[in-house]
Amino acid sequence: MGAKPGKTRDYTGELKRALGEDALHSVDTGYDHLGNIAVIDPTGMTRAQEKILARHIIGSNRTITTVLAKGGPVEGIYRVRKVRYVFGKRTSIARYREHGCTYDFDVRKTFFSARLAYERARIAELAKQDKHVVVMFAGIGPFAIQIAKRNKSAKIVAIELNRYACRQMREEIRLNKTPNVVPVQGNVKKMRGKYDNFADRIVMPLPKTSTSFLDEACEMARNGCVVHLYSFINLDALQLLIDGIKDHAKHNSYSVKVLFTRTVRNYSAKEIEIVVDYKISKPR
Q: Which residues of the chain have pLDDT under 70?
A: 1-29
Beta bridge partners of 135: 158, 203
pLDDT for position 284: 79
> Which runs of consecutive H residues, i.e. helices, occur in the chain?
12-19, 23-27, 47-60, 117-126, 142-150, 163-175, 214-220, 238-251
pLDDT for position 268: 84
pLDDT for position 137: 97
Tens of pLDDT, residues 90-101: 999 999 999 999
pLDDT for position 6: 44
**CB–CB of 192/220 below 8 Å?**
no
**How is the beta sheet containing 271-281 ordered, strand by strand?**
181-185, 155-160, 132-135, 199-204, 221-234, 271-281, 255-266
Q: Spell out the domains of the chain, with CATH numbers in brackets.
A: 12-91 (3.30.300.110), 114-281 (3.40.50.150)
Predicted structure pTM score: 0.90
